Amino acid sequence: MDAGIGLLAAAAAVRRLRPDAALVLSSDPDGMPWGPRTPEDVTARALAAAEAAAAHRPDALIVACNTASVHALPALRARLEPDLPVIGTVPAIKPAAAGGGPVAIWATPATTGSPYQRGLIREFADGVAVTEVPCPGLADAVEYADEAAVALAVAAAAERTPDDVRAIVLGCTHYELVAERIRAAVQRPGLPPLVLHGSAGAVAAQALRRIGEPPAPEAPAEGTLTVILSGREAPLPAPALAYAEGRLLQAVSPAR
């Protein structure tokens, strides 16, 4: 679940690990973006999206949204666990800092500088040079596959990123859909390749561990895909097909 198509990265990661998985994608296009909303409003909308997915009796729920993980995870777990394991998304600050830095964290303006993100930096990146980079407009541009707006938002964030940064944490699930454009904008000539750290792969693997299902990338069975948009079953939104992750999901199991 997510406010929008940021959930594609985690869904595609699950699909690669388990081609036989039945996936339910629940988002909230009627209420997005969640970032500017109050924590109480985010929690209410996240609960609605989660319950729409839970009606399909899944084995696990991935909260593929940093904003919802920050504000709504306790409420989601209180409502759904232990019957339905809930897996949140945490920015990959720990593995990024393990490389020694300098590190940049690209995130929404609401997340940048938040007590939550600052706490993760203190816990996992003590002694490492970290720059928090707000990326206004980037998640919305990705959501609507607006190429011009994506280019402008990425370029603006790249300008705010120090030249010596060696790793970037993608602190919003939408950003993983344009990871290579981010890399191209920030990579400096003559420097080692930039390392990008997203959360989708780790979250997908954790979900499978929680339900006791090992990865089986060669599974012969073809999975299914159900798409829920603000509580209504629908096809995969057209902008999702602008991204490799959306095309993978559509190709393996056409959306209903």
* Rounded Cα gap, residues 221 and 224, in angstroms: 10
Of the listed 7, 9, 50, 65, which one is catalytic? 65
CB proximity list for 103: less than 8 A, separation 6 or greater: 93, 96, 97, 125, 128, 129, 130, 131, 165, 166, 167, 168, 169
Of the listed 142, 172, 207, 240, which one is catalytic? 172
Reply yes or no on whether 65 is catalytic: yes
Reported residue count of the chain is 256
Reply yes or no on whether 172 is catalytic: yes
* Rounded Cα gap, residues 72 and 213, in angstroms: 26
Closest CA to 174 of 55, 33, 53, 70: 33
Which residue bears the tokens 């985690």? 10
DSSP code at position 164: T
Active site residues: 65, 172
